[in-house]
Structure 1
């Protein structure tokens, strides 16, 4: 009996060994939710959410919520959220200083941002907003503080995710829940200075495009977990295509698997050793 108790203690130690933490996938889902199931990539998001993987999708009907609710989006968003996924509404912010691209009006007020957020709330019952074209300088913080205060007042509990695409001034952590502080290529993510500059990893995310192979994707995921990032998106989409986010990556299923929590190699070895000890102890006790 003493040997068995010792073996059980070893097994308890093994099963308490650490697992590699899961990381949330934040998907720029800038693809249309077709009414044809075989053409609707939102169905793949829904399937992944149904597996228990943390998936947040950024919906973007037309550089924002559009001019009216869209029934295809309503159906897909509702199904995705019912499966456990979260949805953010895409809102561009012109870097807080009216530096917009030619495709949209050249100026953007805090009132415009809040009005778009309200449309998402009214039409799609989203879980928060994705503030794109976010500035990173201290001088534009008042713009984002006004937006953040307005969102919290109107929508308590919403998630606010900002996308400066680079590490911003320290004050930006106070106006968002998560900062996507990297948006760039595979080589820049792997070889650049971003990972070494992260100070609040759990509230930091990265969007990595041009990741050509499954092996490269797994390398990015491994680094994201190693550094404790709270959010990640990896795609083989490229800037050469015009928009890297018009489709899910070709290795989407593998990315979902890589994002899930898995035992550390040392933990697996310890668990197997513990099970072997228990088995041996039981044989001896007979």
Structure 2
């Protein structure tokens, strides 16, 4: 294939560093020249969250004012079709429900940080075309819809691996490599097609020695990657630190610079007008969501869903049911209608309108209930009912409500009052059991967030009930005291059992 047009080579950074954790890193990111380091990814809690984060608001606004293009992280969960069968925050693997969560997260970035967002980074991209290109076309549709709603948006799709040509128009840029220096230099696998412009491809290479930065940049250029991030950070999270200034200067000097390639708003596909959808009905209602269904419309190439007269979703033609999240518990007065999109680029008339209400929690304002523990010789089972979705649900094991002994047995403090905390030594996040591994230097009061994985955890969800089975129990460890911490897309809370 013909080599790509040389659109230059520039640095784009997965800047997942919390603004308070390393303010110097953010100061340096904003100081580096825009033509060399052009794109920054913002990531609050695996996405935008549902409320403004003031720390992120400050750095996003500062970066935008300095001329950086800040793009918001949106998880796509491999569309729920990978071997892991990732679920939405509402617990669904349905393709329409994943589309709904993705598009609502896009809207949330632009709602919470207006005037400062430059696009969207779609992570966990599925890189199988699917029957009749269903998956590549869905990503293209999501990207196109983002550009229609937010003109000038720069879209990136990241599977972190090679992508077939069917994905060429699924986003402005495709991240086709996200792995280690060793893999990049010894077992790199290219796409089986060549992009027309080098800015179509983005590579991230981690664990790169400083002496090899120039070589890796040259390799990336030869492989057609016009967007690049090189770092000496390592797994399990190679994005939580920015290399020192000397390293970054080598990286900056190794690229010629440029600017992202951003496609315009796509034109209509062409074809007949669509008829009006009918039979819209509410088929389910939960604490923060409702489910809608409707009948197919002739000649429809897609559907648009409106909530209280505001466009909230654009769905594929084969999607005639969807669960909508981000609603408030115990709330009435939501109204919905649907239109069909025709090949002529026009919307049909409105469907019938329906009204819906969300369920009220058993105790308004509290969303974690029925916390239980069962301790055995070498394992412990925790369970709780959690009635609204969160980005993170963590389980901590605590053994003292007095204080951590940071000299002999350090732990992570979790507050239950302004000046009172419990001392935790184990934590479950996802399906991993972690043990606290931080140390507190003498004369300091800052406790580092430092954990080491020590085992796997069986996690089950049945309706609202979550169960965690950890490989830890009596008599080696007293696991009777625990707390559940919720964060992201709902009120942050620490719920203790027993109450300290």
TM-score scaled by structure 1? 0.75
- With a CA cutoff of 8 Å and minimum separation of 6, indicate the structure with the bigger relative contact order: 1
> CA-atom RMSD, angstroms?
2.4
- Give the equivalent residue in structure 2 for 1:257: 253
- Give the equivalent residue in structure 2 for 1:208: 205
- Give the equivalent residue in structure 2 for 1:78: 61
Which of the residues 195, 216, 220 maps onto 1:220?
Answer: 216
Unpaired segments ≥5 residues, structure 2: 1-5, 258-500
- Give the equivalent residue in structure 2 for 1:120: 109
- Give the equivalent residue in structure 2 for 1:67: 50
- Give the equivalent residue in structure 2 for 1:129: 120
* Cα 1:215–1:22 shift into 2, 3 Å: farther
If each structure's helix is expressed as a fraction of its own residues, which one has the higher value?
1
- Give the equivalent residue in structure 2 for 1:24: 10
Deviation, structure 1 residue 157: 1.7
Give distance in 1, aligned partners of 2:16 and 2:151: 26
- Give the equivalent residue in structure 2 for 1:234: 230
Unpaired segments ≥5 residues, structure 1: 1-19, 262-286
Give distance in 2, aligned partners of 1:129 and 1:74: 16
- Kindly provide the CA deviation profile for residues 96-155 of structure 1, in whole angstroms up to 9, marking residues without a partner as x: 125568897354511111111111112223110000000100112243133123212211
CA contact (8 A) 1:53 1:256 kept: yes
For the pair shown, the structure with the greater C-alpha radius of gyration is 2
Give distance in 2, aligned partners of 1:177 and 1:21: 13
Give distance in 2, aligned partners of 1:39 and 1:82: 17
Aligned to 2:240, what secondary structure does the other structure show?
Answer: coil
TM-score scaled by structure 2? 0.44
CA contact (8 A) 1:96 1:144 kept: no
- Give the equivalent residue in structure 2 for 1:146: 141
* Cα 1:113–1:102 shift into 2, 3 Å: closer
Deviation, structure 1 residue 60: 0.2
The answer to whether 1:174 aligns with 2:166 is no
Give distance in 1, aligned partners of 2:238 and 2:50: 25
CA contact (8 A) 1:49 1:83 kept: no
- Give the equivalent residue in structure 1 for 2:339: none
Which of the residues 98, 103, 127 maps onto 1:109?
Answer: 98
CA contact (8 A) 1:24 1:231 kept: yes
If each structure's strand is expressed as a fraction of its own residues, which one has the higher value?
2
Give distance in 1, aligned partners of 2:214 and 2:105: 36
Give distance in 1, aligned partners of 2:37 and 2:23: 23
The answer to whether 1:247 aligns with 2:234 is no
Give distance in 2, aligned partners of 1:56 and 1:158: 12
Aligned to 2:33, what secondary structure does the other structure show?
Answer: helix
Give distance in 2, aligned partners of 1:103 and 1:111: 12
- Give the equivalent residue in structure 1 for 2:184: 189
Aligned pairs, how many?
236
